[in-house]
Amino acid sequence: MSGYPEDLRYTQEHEWARVSGNVVTIGITKYAVEQLGDITYVGLPREGEEITKGDVFGTIESVKAQSDVFSPVSGTVAKINDPLEDNPEYVNDDPYDEGWMIQVEMTDPEDLSDMMDAKAYTEYVAELD
């Protein structure tokens, strides 16, 4: 399995982060989507909510399982992807663009330091299969 976007950072829990200044867009990886199957529900926090690195910020339900989604950074939820409420399948169809989940104004850029680049994540996922 390969083809993870080079401009993203990745966690061992299969979240991705796209950094633009101090705003981090967060979603789940294609690997996570493939493990979950067809996604039927995405539960997200409210805009303005404070979240902490490593804590659960949302849930995903699929035909196979329910999973928590963990935040790779601490900060304030600046925006949520509202269309996911009615169209959770966007996560299946396009996890890196239409299927993003939240944008966070991060409080400490150092939070990103333990995330993997695309090459490291590809190697990590290969070890799981």
3-state SS of 26-83 is: EEECHHHHHHHCCEEEEECCCCCCEECCCCEEEEEEECCCEEEEECCCCEEEEEECHH
The continuous run of DSSP H or E covering 90 comes out as helix 89-93
- Of 42 and 2, the structure prediction assigns the larger pLDDT to 42
Q: What is the pLDDT of residue 2?
A: 54
93-109: pLDDT as tens digits: 999 999 999 999 999 99
Please, what is the average pLDDT of the chain? Answer: 96
- Structural tokens at position 99: 């299927």
At 67-93, the pLDDT tens digits run: 999 999 999 999 999 999 999 999 999
Average pLDDT over residues 17-23: 97
Q: For residue 116, is pLDDT > 70?
A: yes
Indicate the fold that domain 9-109 takes in CATH. Answer: OB fold (Dihydrolipoamide Acetyltransferase, E2P) (2.40.50)
Q: Can you give the pTM of this predicted structure?
A: 0.95
For the chain, the domains span 9-109
pLDDT-derived band at 45, boundaries 50, 70, 90: very high
Report the percentage of the chain scoring pLDDT > 90.
Answer: 97
